[in-house]
Amino acid sequence: MNCQELCSRFDERLDVDAYAGIDASENGLQVGPADQDVERVAFAVDAAVETIEQAAAEGTDLLVVHHGLLWGGDGQVTDLRYRRLQRLFEAEMALYAVHLPLDGHQDLGNAAGVADVLDLGNRAPFGEIDGEYIGQRGRAREPFAVEGLRERLSSELDTSGEDVQVLEFGPAEIVDIGVVTGSGTDWIDEAAAKGVDALVTGEGKQQVYHRAREHGIHVFLAGHYATETFGVRALAGLAEEWGVETTFVDHPTGL
């Protein structure tokens, strides 16, 4: 398949244009000739030297990632960015990145993947940012206790052996759950306003402790990487349906 055709299909399916004014990531084809043929595509969470080199070793034509190399305001190609781009050029490999659209897509996104793990029903968009959404909210089929929800996340997500941290300030029975993957604690006020019992995200910030306590909400910190493998895996499934050979480059950070 032509590289641009494949990237355009991803753009359309994820409604990338809707996030153009709110996402710092330069979503879409970031590196590489748009007219090259693509037979094998690698998928990874991060565009790092390690993931690029592993993808290159597997004969990849295009690397699709959640965290790309080009972000708004970037102007110089030096140091780490230079080395990463150098690896792409050496491998004659293209790079496609998609950030917030892949967090919030209600079927293919990272939050939807975590909601699947928790078997949430009655789902709705959650994590609003300028009229778009980067998360998902739903209701547990049966109420979770804190330890039950922690165990579900620990067993189903690749946390690299790290514990799922919990700020335990909510009700004994957890039914209404909001999910914003990665670094999503900024949406705790929205969670409180919507009556959410627990917010599931990847990593925390110092201030969230007091906000969670004062709002009376549990916060589950399951790892940035661990909560953001779902979207790229879903895109790999799409690419396979379109007749493209795929591979997943797994490089957990434990964070």
Strand 165-167 to strand 132-144: parallel, antiparallel, or no bridges (unpaired)? unpaired
Helices 110-117 & 146-156 angle (0-180, nearest 10): 120
CATH of domain 103-227: 3.40.1390.30
Count Cβ atoms within 10 A of the Cβ of residue 193 and give its class: 0-12 exposed, 13-18 middle, 19 or more buried: exposed
Burial of 21 (0-12, 13-18, 19+ CB in 10 A): exposed
Q: How far apart are CA 104 and CA 108, in angstroms?
A: 8
CA distance 18 to 157: 29
The four Cα atoms 171, 194, 134, 159 give a dihedral, to 10 degrees, of 0
pLDDT by residue (tens digit) across 70-123? 998 766 788 888 999 999 999 999 999 999 999 999 999 999 999 999 999 999
The binding site for a divalent metal cation consists of 66-67, 103, 224, 228
pLDDT above 90 for 34: no
CA distance 124 to 111: 11
Q: How many angstroms separate the CA atoms of 226 and 182, rounded? A: 8
Question: Using one digit for the tens of pLDDT, what is the confidence trace for 131-187?
Answer: 999 999 999 999 999 999 999 999 999 998 999 999 999 999 999 999 999 999 999
Binding residues: 66-67, 103, 224, 228
Mean pLDDT, rounded, for 8-15: 98
Identify whether the C-beta of residue 167 lies closer than 8 Å to the C-beta of residue 215.
no
Q: Which residues contact 151 (CB under 8 A, 6 or more apart)?
A: none
Note the pTM of the prediction, 2 decimals: 0.96
* Average pLDDT along the chain: 96
Q: Where in the chain is the domain with CATH 3.40.1390.30?
A: 3-98+229-248, 103-227
| Residue % of the chain over a pLDDT of 90 | 94
The reported pLDDT for the residue numbered 78 is 83
Please check whether the domain covering 3-98+229-248 is classified as CATH 3.40.50.300.
Answer: no
